[in-house]
Structure 1
Amino acid sequence: MLGNQSSATEFCLLGFPGSPKLRHILFATFFFFYIVTVMGNIVIIVIVCFDKRLQSPMYFFLSHLSVLEIMTISTAVPLMLWGLLLPGMQRISLTACVAQLYLYLSFGTTEFVLMAAMAVDRYVAICNPLRYSIIMNSCTCIWVVSVSWVFGFLFQIWPVYATFQLSYCKLNVVDHFFCDRGQLLKLSCDDTLFTEFILFLMAVFIIIGSLIPTSISYTYIISTILKIPSASGRRKAFSTCASHFTYVVIGCGSCMFLYVKPKQTQAAEYNRVASLLVLVVTPFLNPFIFTLRNEKFMEAFQDGMKRCHRLIKD
């Protein structure tokens, strides 16, 4: 352990306290969540790439969202699972800790930008259907996705840099299952009030900033849907954006619970539960949210399964 020193070369992750039996139960649960999340998103990516019926902007954005979900959950959950199998604390180098926090925050920021882009895409599809193919052409989609990725990775450079510029003169035990920023700030002997305030403003900018175009888009979408005379037409129009709206509510709700608070150094149990919502539960639900109520995707999935079955039989 480090004590009375100005810097740390490694950290010890405390992980989940409890008996070995409880840790094994948690391992089995989180391993199941991880495997289902990764496999579900891989299925989405493969079907979107190979089925011509899904060659549209909505599914193009969805495939990138699936890539982000796989990467986000893979930044922390494999290490968490390994820690559940090992007794005691798990050591992680400073470099690995920096990389883990940076990738986790960058992927999350990219998701929020992409989420807003998907809302605008649904707005154009429902409110301006005749101009949809012109506005949301392939160049526009590639540009939007590229900007989302670049912005996400550039935006998080300073927050991660500021976090690890602090002096860590307390014990280097992180009371979490990954390098959580709030728990890292707790280990510093510096006055982190200003840093925490700037991080709070940046979190508000990302989350609220993505919610503004999303809210405006859905205001126009709902207004347009209500003007459709037939009930079947309203149902069909709403079904095209219901999954995205559900994703927005779950994703933004869990992230606001974790990051949009002036004091970043919350209690460890609070951060641990909130992080599980963001890192494990939300990515686990998303493949089901985007596929089970999507008739076009389910048709493509069933046809793909039939083709695989015929190949196996032959």
Structure 2
Amino acid sequence: MRLNQDTPPDADGPHVLVRTEGRAGLLTLNRPRALNALTHAMVLRIDEALTAWEADPTVETVVIRGAGERGLCAGGDIRAIHEDARAGGGAGGATVDFWRDEYRLNARIARYPKPYVALMDGIVMGGGVGVSAHGSVRVVTERSRVAMPETGIGFAPDVGGTYLLGRAPGELGTHLALTGAQADAADALLTGLADHFVPSDELPRLVEELTRAPAHKVLPRFARTAPPGRLAAARDWIDTAYAAPTVEEIVDRLLDSGVTEAKETAATLLTRSPTALKVTLEALRRARRLDSLEAVLAMEFRLSHTALGSADLVEGIRAQVIDKDRSPRWTPATLAEVTPGHVAAYFAERDLPKIR
């Protein structure tokens, strides 16, 4: 079945545009005023399209992109998550249902049997990484800003973020996960979050060519060398500091490094949720030992469910998104107060829907 209808319009218009053109199936995330933040309905619509195109021999390539000029996708609908968390959303809540289907979609994208080309132009954060960086062909531009900024809202990287960042060279992924720092095009390529650099003004022509020819023939004609990034030059102090066994020791190594940027990074870490930092570090190290994306997503599902009932997630979203005072009051307030038992509780088995 070929899909040429958009999703039924609502007050804001269709939030996912689904079309076929020539050899390609085209997905456009269409909430530009919300930086294309994902809703549950959008996740289900993308999955529906992938189902149809997997069985359609005329669709050879899938392309996902974002509407507007600001980016592919800023993540999940954080305000809706905040409302659910404040209401005490549990295993049967709307947010848990959203995460279940979102994580299943992430796994599906990773194993999709046809080329899945993600145009990671502009802002690509959180859930935006989930619908792009698991694809088989990831394209960044000079405008790309790729990040998993969850520790800043009292959360831990999800959507397979610990799987991706746990497999980055050295400790670069640990740095990105704990700080929430944005990776530019070169940094995304270095850390394995992307495959090709294409100038943003070439993207329309790239998509046009993908409707006519296979991705493996088209991409080499458009790929260029990315402008220099920042992470490559920082590898020494990043790898040394983040190899420490605890967050406290990571901060100490950063402060003792003698590198101005490292000291600034330590100061950034101390503004993040202490609980989220410790949970994220443990999650990254567990993710490295797990043998599949699905297993990591199942772990992240447990973490996310626990975080939904935490004070830090509500407070972090309030400070960063709702009130925007940028002054979260974390509970516990310091790294020393976050005990091993507190961290272990995030990884406890729960009766949750299966991701596989």
Do they superpose with TM above 0.5? no
Larger Rg belongs to: 1
Q: TM-score range by the shorter chain?
A: under 0.3
Highest relative contact order (Cα 8 Å, sep 6+), 1 or 2? 1
- Of Structure 1 and Structure 2, the greater helix share is in 1
Alignment TM-score, normalising by the size of structure 2: 0.25
Alignment TM-score, normalising by the size of structure 1: 0.27
